[in-house]
């Protein structure tokens, strides 16, 4: 398993990659119409949520037994989903222009982080299962 420092750095790198992709798409005239002007609020929210998931996940891996870890990963996914739904609901309730584009941008960022989360879980799966067999 990776240390918490490496996981945080990896999460920040993923956030920077997403920010670079969005910035690049905004600079191209053909794709700028598909990027909402307030997309940076989505990226900041997603980065903070990613860090929260990493910190809670690390705490859970250290303090929970091997049989409870699948529930931890499921719980973190549900936490990410619920907080994301709350964020979308608040932003849409307050009011924002071009709602469809904003929601599409949010969904794309959400899927980007979800793929990263699944990849990081799968990359740590061998270390986690080996550790579970020892206990």
pLDDT tens digit sequence for 72-109? 888 888 999 999 999 999 999 998 888 999 999 999 99
Cα 28 to Cα 9: distance, rounded to the nearest angstrom: 29
Is the model more confident about 62 or about 86?
Answer: 86
Q: Of 10-14, 51-55, 61-65, which gets the smallest average pLDDT?
A: 61-65
Is the model more confident about 37 or about 127?
Answer: 37
State residue 103's pLDDT score: 93
Query: pLDDT class for 125, splitting at 50, 70, 90?
Result: low
Give me the number of domains the chain comprises.
1
pLDDT of 127 higher than 70: no
State residue 87's pLDDT score: 94
pLDDT of 31 higher than 90: no
Cα 53 to Cα 50: distance, rounded to the nearest angstrom: 5
Q: Domain range holding 102?
A: 4-134
- Taken in order 98, 40, 34, 14, the sign of the CA dihedral is negative
pTM, two decimals, is: 0.80
């Amino acid at each position: 398993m990776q240390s918490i420092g490496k996981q945080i750095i990896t999460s920040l790198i993923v956030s920077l990659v997403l920010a670079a992709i969005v910035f690049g798409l905004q600079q191209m005239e053909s794709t700028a119409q598909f990027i909402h002007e307030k997309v940076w609020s989505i990226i900041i929210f997603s980065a903070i949520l990613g860090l929260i998931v990493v910190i809670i996940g690390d705490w859970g891996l250290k303090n929970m037994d091997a049989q409870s870890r699948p529930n931890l990963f499921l719980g973190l996914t549900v936490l990410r989903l619920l907080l994301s739904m709350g964020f979308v609901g608040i932003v849409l309730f307050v009011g924002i222009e071009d709602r469809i584009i904003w929601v599409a941008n949010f969904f794309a960022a959400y899927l980007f982080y979800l793929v990263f989360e699944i990849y990081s879980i799968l990359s740590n799966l061998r270390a986690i299962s080996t550790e579970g067999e020892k206990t």
